[in-house]
Amino acid sequence: MFVGSWNVGGIPPPDNLNIEELLNTENNMADIYVFGFQEIVPLNAGNILVPENSNISMKWNSLLKAALNKRRVTEDILQRAEVGEIQRIYPIKTLSSINSSASDFECIISKQMVGIYITVWVRKELQGYISHPSVSCIGCGILGRLGNKGSVSISFCLHETSFCFVCSHLASGGKEGDERQRNADAEHILARTLFPAEPLQHLPRKILDHDRVIWLGDLNYRIYLPEATTRSLVKNKEWSILLENDQLKAELAKGRVFEGWHEKEIEFAPTYKYHQNSDDYYGSNHKIKAKRMRAPAWCDRIIWFGKGLKQIQYDRVESRLSDHRPVRAIFIAIVNVSRPLEEPGSILSNRFVDSSDHFT
């Protein structure tokens, strides 16, 4: 499974955006792609009151569709896939199916709440084994309810295993004590997220009821150091010292938030805050005037909960589109299968249940 997150700062995707680099499709093709965005629209008063902007979300989805379905498979790659170490839970493709015009990946579910947008793409061979897709939206922004901050969570079952992906944008702010509001947002999301019940089905309704849970997004946690010290350590690439003072790791270690969750070791530079179209951190280039000083931080994170997940990659991508750098991870997930692997029927519902809670 590929999981990615990107705060795009309210900037619509340009037509020449190279999203293939972000998805890393040249080097590895996953079976499931989950991508979460934050601020796909500017967080102004007009947009906060409009939960969905289909034009923007459709544009991002069309870019993902084109990148994931670009044909690049050769006979050599197919042969290596057939003897690969990872056991796939679907029949391997034949050369004739690779050369066909059908899509390799289909979007099974996507949902936007103001600036937060999550979309899930699945290899077509898996699609028939997926069931019960649903969403739940939680607003934690203005008045504690509006959708300028909060989460969009997606749930589905693959064979007999349930998955939950939480895409969130938590409270901002670099002042001392702001981390407590981020902790509170995370707790509200865990407490208030509720997926719809289905008759005669014993499906998970809460986030932590699922077998495999991954949380991605702009969590907005900063670094507990003076700004000048942080900038000096970033310049010298002293990641270990910076991470010893990372708010999320500190709050997690103290048991104040995300108890029992895991994060793979970070070996990349802080993802925030950059000057747009630049490799310079905000405020570090004296030729560019900064409105407010913002120290670098690892705001953008991917964490996970439960058993049956093995994370094998965690890095960032050098896109200059916004003031954040995207982060991405690759997981191997164990899936329970209770019936023989044969060509699936169409058990994926044509609709999904939307349990939204952005307003009171």
Phi and psi at 19, nearest 5°, equal -80, -15
Helix or strand or coil: residue 323? coil
Mean pLDDT, the chain, whole residue set: 87
CA nearest 263: which of 223, 298, 211, 225? 298
Task: Render pLDDT for 137-162 as a digit per residue (tens, 0 to 9).
Answer: 999 999 888 999 999 999 999 999 99
pLDDT at 52: 84
Phi and psi at 223, nearest 5°, equal -120, 130
How far is 222 from 317, CA to CA, in rounded Å? 20
pLDDT at 200: 82
The b-or-e profile of 167-192 (16+ CB within 10 A means b, else e) is: bbbbbbebeeebbebbbebbebbbeb
CA nearest 137: which of 287, 344, 356? 356
pLDDT tens, the chain, 360 aa long: 999 999 999 999 998 898 999 998 887 789 999 999 999 999 998 888 888 878 999 999 999 999 999 865 544 444 454 445 556 666 555 444 445 556 899 999 999 999 999 999 999 999 999 999 999 999 999 988 899 999 999 999 999 999 999 999 999 999 989 999 999 999 999 999 999 998 888 999 999 999 999 999 999 999 999 999 999 999 999 999 999 999 999 999 999 999 999 999 999 999 999 999 999 999 876 665 556 678 999 999 999 999 999 999 999 999 999 999 999 999 999 999 986 655 554 444 433 455 554 332
Helix or strand or coil: residue 227? helix
How far is 345 from 352, CA to CA, in rounded Å? 18
How far is 249 from 148, CA to CA, in rounded Å? 25
CA nearest 75: which of 102, 97, 55? 97
The b-or-e profile of 300-312 (16+ CB within 10 A means b, else e) is: bbbbbbeeebebe
Task: Render pLDDT for 58-78 as a digit per residue (tens, 0 to 9).
Answer: 999 999 999 999 865 544 444
